[in-house]
Amino acid sequence: MIAFLPRRPRFARRAVPAWLSHPLGWRSGPVPRAAVVRGALSAGPLLALGVLTGEVGPGVLAALGAMLAGVNDRPGTRRTGVVHIGLPAAAGAFGVLCGGLLADTGGRWAAVPALFVVGWLSGALSVAGPVWSAAAMQLLVTASIGAGMPLAGPAWLKASCYLGGAAWLLLLRFLLRAPSRRRGARWDGEREAVAAVFDALADVLRAVGGPDAGAARRRLTAAQQRADESVRLMRLLSWPARTGGSAAAHRIVTRFGAATALCEAGIALLWEGRPLPAQVAEGPRRLAAAVRADGAPGALPSPASDTVQRGAFDRALLDAAIAFDRTEPDAEPPPYATTPAPPRTPRTVRRLLGRVFAPARRENGLRVALCVAASTAVALSLHQDHWYWLPATAAFLVKPDLGPLFSRVVNRVAGTAAGVLVFILLTAATAGLGGPWWVIAVVVTGGALIPVATRHFGFQTAVVTLLVLSFLYAAGDTEATVARLLDTALACAIVLLVGHLPHLTDPRLRVGHRFAVALRCTERYLRHVLDTPPADDTPRATGAPYGTGTPAPTGGDAAGVALRHAAYRALAEARAVAETAAAELPGPHRTHRHDWLAVVARTERIVEAATVCAVRVEQGVPAPSAAEAREVTEALAAMADALEEGRPLAAAALPPVPSRCRSLGDVMTHLHGIQALTTAA
């Protein structure tokens, strides 16, 4: 009998490259109805007020401030909104002030070196985190607008109008919320953030040993970061002495401490990899419901401590139940502790300059500065007025934290073309209408779309283009539509050219910096857990992680919790940068062949193993020897230095894998794996 093999296809189907599929990606999620209402009530009424009073210029600037504030109007508590909206708005107002002063006192071509300096500062600040990145973006964009938009009035008045528009949106965020008669309802946002941590932990426990465990752990990390930020700002921007507020705030802080200790034990179960009974996840689910109801969790699943990791989890669950019982609504809250803040070592000028001129910050700042300065020079050569569009477009394109460069360029061109086309059609359809009131209707609609449009860069570009063209039309510039499309194409060409220059866009600097931060945070955490002094004279961090007065979480000291949170936060930022680098166009650097996502996976295992080491030591497992701990922490520091400097680490720089401690052995195994990945051609 003859067996006939299936015929192979002539052309094998290949997977679509990430750089080609990324422009079509769309973030899903529920529609933020409250943010949609705030967007509709923000820029449109401000522009209408300017038209009614005859002060169109200030009205346009106020509407612009409200529009850019709406881009940062993300889900979260009202206090996180103060930071996420307020800090970028303050930076944007400062940019308008600087740009206005430049337009009033300097010549036209003075804008080129001035925006080069602002661009370098903006690019360097973008590495500091998402909020600082948003602030740096608004600083650069508004400096270009302030210098190039011909609006009457002194610079300080322009900046005040811009800041007033952003403040109006922030005021709407405080005013437009669901009414509640429950005691302590003003902490509902923080309460929901803490409950989300327990829910995410339950998802992790259900996924242990399965293919979705890694994704569940990343969702848990994100939930912890949001809750950590919410609790920090709750303590910073509140008055605990207020009647009823002290008890509710104390319950939230204490229950978040219980969630932190429980998550640490849950990560140990995840590292162990043994599937768990379904009832194990019921404990965190009931705790989440108790947080939302501001009550007690009731009966929790019985313990079954068959391993060290499971024993740690059961102990943390028992401690959480005790903490919840002590903080029921009718219980008298204890006074807040006054834990001293962590001591800060004095920073010399040399250390400060070293951080500012670090390779990743220097490379990012130089790339942004060159793109914006070149775009400004081209714009000044082509336009007498309204030349700001070209450098402002380049600023949006060149920022690497907004996505891969090719994807940004494609979406920017498509979004601008769509926005221009829609505005032309609206202008033709409303040609017989008198006055700018149809423009205000467009601004109201566009403001309502911004919270949804932020899920895709092309959609967001189309909405922002439509809004900016409406602002210009209301200010009297009715001929700028087609010119904006040409400026966008020129900005895309400049950014693509500069973005692929050799020796300027090496991904080892941008991506390696994030991994270096994650490994250094892990090293500090391990040193703290094992009480191993660092190789240099840098003192180990101590003190409360959530601000003065926050009690240490159950099951761990406050400094260890702060160090572990820093490691997971840096790990999440490293994954985001690695995903962006994986979707970039293949460039001239051989380092583009590195599998950065595989490096992320191994770095995640290193951080998890460090957490497991802490759990095992707390449960009484003998700690590794001082020599073994020192070898592992020094190896982490050496790998971090190599990734920061963009160089491969020599094979002799890493010691062999220790055999007496499972968790430290896991750390060293994955360090060897990272070494192999980053030295491969």
Q: Is the pLDDT of residue 386 over 70?
A: yes
Averaged pLDDT, 523-546: 56
Q: Are 559 and 342 in contact (CB under 8 A)?
A: yes
Of 200, 208, 199, 212, the residue nearest 278 (C-alpha)? 208
Indicate the average pLDDT of the chain. Answer: 78
SS3 labels along 342-365: CCCCCCCHHHHHHHHCCHHHHHHH
Running DSSP on this structure, what letter comes out for residue 647? -
pLDDT confidence band for 15 (50 / 70 / 90): low
Who has greater pLDDT, 184 or 220? 220
358, 123 Cβ separation under 8 angstroms: no
What pLDDT sits at residue 162?
Answer: 94
Mean pLDDT confidence for 616-621:
80
> Is 466:445 a contact under the CB 8 Å cutoff?
no
pLDDT value for 91:
93
Mean pLDDT over 122-134 rounds to: 82
- DSSP state letter for 181: -
Amino acid type, 52? L
Residue 490: C-alpha distances to residues 108, 369, 381 (Å):
20, 16, 13
DSSP H or E segment with residue 517? helix 507-530
Q: Is the pLDDT of residue 111 over 70?
A: yes
Q: At what angle do helices 596-618 and 245-272 cross, to 10 degrees?
A: 110
pLDDT bin (cut points 50, 70, 90) of residue 61 is: very high
Residue 398 contacts residue 499 (beta carbons within 8 Å): yes
299-332 pLDDT, tens digit per residue, is 777 777 777 888 888 888 888 888 887 755 554 4
- Residues whose CB is less than 8 angstroms from the CB of residue 179 and which lie 6 or more positions away in sequence, other chains included: none
| 262-288 per-position pLDDT tens digit | 988 888 888 888 888 888 888 899 999
Among residues 446, 479, 472, the alpha carbon closest in space to that of 68 is found at 446
591 has a pLDDT exceeding 60: no
Per-residue pLDDT at 340: 34
Predicted confidence (pLDDT) at residue 440 exceeds the cutoff of 80: yes
- Is the model more confident about 480 or about 294? 294
Average pLDDT over residues 197-208: 91
What is the CB neighbour count within 10 angstroms for residue 346?
A: 5
pLDDT at 550: 36
What is the per-residue pLDDT across 91-108, written as a single tens digit (0 to 9) for each? 999 999 998 888 878 677
Q: How large is the angle between the packed helices 457-474 and 437-453, nearest 10 degrees?
A: 160
Q: Write out pLDDT tens, residues 620-646.
A: 778 788 888 888 888 888 888 888 777
HSE on the CB side for 532, CA within 13 Å? 21
Count the Cβ atoms, other than its own, within 10 Å of residue 232: 17
Q: What is the pTM of this model?
A: 0.79
pLDDT the model gives residue 295: 81
Q: What is the pLDDT of residue 164?
A: 93
Length reported for the chain: 681
518-532, 592-606, 659-673: range with lowest mean pLDDT? 592-606
| Residues 444-494 pLDDT 10s | 999 999 988 888 888 988 999 999 888 888 887 777 677 788 888 888 888
| Most confident range, picked from 161-165, 227-231, 517-521, 579-583 | 161-165
Query: Is residue 594's pLDDT more than 70?
Result: no
> Which of 47-51, 67-71, 157-161, 386-390 is the least confident region?
386-390
User: Mean pLDDT over residues 531-552, rounded?
Assistant: 40
Per-residue exposure over 93-131, b if at least 16 CB sit within 10 Å of its own CB, e if not? bbbbbbbbbbbeeeeeeebbebbbebbbbbbbbbbeeeb
Instruction: Scan for tokens 């002030």, then name that residue.
Output: 97
pLDDT tens for 328-378 read 555 444 433 333 333 343 444 444 444 455 556 677 788 888 889 999 999
Q: At what angle do helices 626-645 and 662-679 cross, to 10 degrees?
A: 20
Provide, rounded to the nearest whole percent, the portion of the chain with pLDDT above 70: 80
